[in-house]
Amino acid sequence: MTDLGPGGEFDRLRSVFSRLAFRVTGVGDDAALVTVDDVGLAISCDLAVENQHFRLGWLMPREIGWRAGAAALSDLAAVAAEPLGILTAVGVPEGREGTFLEELMEGVADAGTSVGAVVWGGDLVRAAQVTVDVTVVGRAPRPVRRSGAQAGDGLWVTGRLGAPRAAVEAWELGHAPSGGLRERFAHPTPRVREAAWLRDQGATAMIDVSDGVIGDAGHVAAASGVRVRIDAEHVPVHEAVGGEASGEAGKARSGDVSLLLALGGGEEYELLVTLPDGFGAAEAHMFADQFGLPLTRIGEIEDGAGVTVMRNGSPFPVTGGYSHF
Task: By CB under 8 A, name the binding residues for a copy of itself.
Answer: 1-2, 9, 12-13, 15-17, 19-20, 23-27, 31-32, 34, 36-37, 39, 41, 43-49, 51-53, 84-85, 87, 89-91, 97-98, 101-102, 105-106, 109, 112-113, 118-129, 131, 133, 135, 137, 139
Bridge partners, 228 (sequence order)? 301, 307
Contacts of 287 by beta carbon, 8 Å cutoff, 6+ apart: 194, 197, 198, 293, 295
Q: Which is nearer to a copy of itself, 57 or 292 (CB)?
A: 57
Q: Which is nearer to a copy of itself, 110 or 183 (CB)?
A: 110
Least Å distance between CB 90 and a copy of itself? 8
For residue 321, give the nearest of 15, 10, 58 by alpha carbon.
10
- DSSP for 120-161 reads EEEEEEE-SS-EEEEEEEEE-SS---STT--TT-EEEEES-B
Least Å distance between CB 20 and a copy of itself? 5
Distance CA 301, CA 225 (A): 10
CA 80, 84, 90: angle at the middle one, nearest 5?
110
Distance CA 178, CA 175 (A): 9
For residue 31, give the nearest of 148, 199, 194, 144 by alpha carbon.
144
Residues 205 and 29: beta-carbon distance below 8 Å: no
**Alpha-carbon separation of residue 269 from 51, 65, 171, 191 (angstroms):** 20, 15, 20, 8
Least Å distance between CB 235 and a copy of itself? 27
* 3-state class (DSSP) for residue 234: helix
Q: Which is nearer to a copy of itself, 118 or 252 (CB)?
A: 118
Least Å distance between CB 162 and a copy of itself? 23
Least Å distance between CB 259 and a copy of itself? 28
Least Å distance between CB 278 and a copy of itself? 33
Q: Which is nearer to a copy of itself, 119 or 288 (CB)?
A: 119
Q: Which is nearer to a copy of itself, 38 or 289 (CB)?
A: 38
Q: Which is nearer to a copy of itself, 140 or 318 (CB)?
A: 140
Least Å distance between CB 52 and a copy of itself? 5
Distance CA 18, CA 39 (A): 27
Q: Which is nearer to a copy of itself, 92 or 181 (CB)?
A: 92
